[in-house]
């Protein structure tokens, strides 16, 4: 993503630093669960 749109990526990262810890943890949990589901689907 930084290669395609470096300014957008920079703005996105700046907004991430302002999120509360709980929101970051929830986003991490959701991404892990989605990744696991995707792996299960691909391996079938």
pLDDT, one tens digit for every residue, the chain (44 residues): 788 999 999 999 999 999 999 999 999 999 999 999 999 999 98
The predicted pLDDT at position 22 comes to 96
* Residue at 15 is within a domain: yes
Query: 6: exposed, middle or buried (C-beta count within 10 Å: 0-12, 13-18, 19+)?
Result: exposed
- The residue segments making up the domain with residue 31 are 6-42
* Residue at 14 is within a domain: yes
Residues in the chain, overall count: 44
Residue 24 and residue 16 in contact, taking contact as beta carbons nearer than 8 Å: yes
- Output phi, psi for 43, to 5 deg: -80, 0
* Residue at 21 is within a domain: yes
Counting the structural domains of the chain, the total is: 1
DSSP 10-36: HHHHHHHTTS-HHHHHHHHHHHHHHHH
* Residue at 1 is within a domain: no
């Amino acid at each position: 993503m930084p290669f395609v749109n470096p300014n957008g990526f920079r703005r996105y990262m700046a907004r991430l630093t302002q999120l509360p810890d709980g929101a970051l943890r929830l986003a991490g949990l959701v991404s892990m669960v989605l990744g696991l589901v995707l792996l299960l689907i691909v391996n079938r």
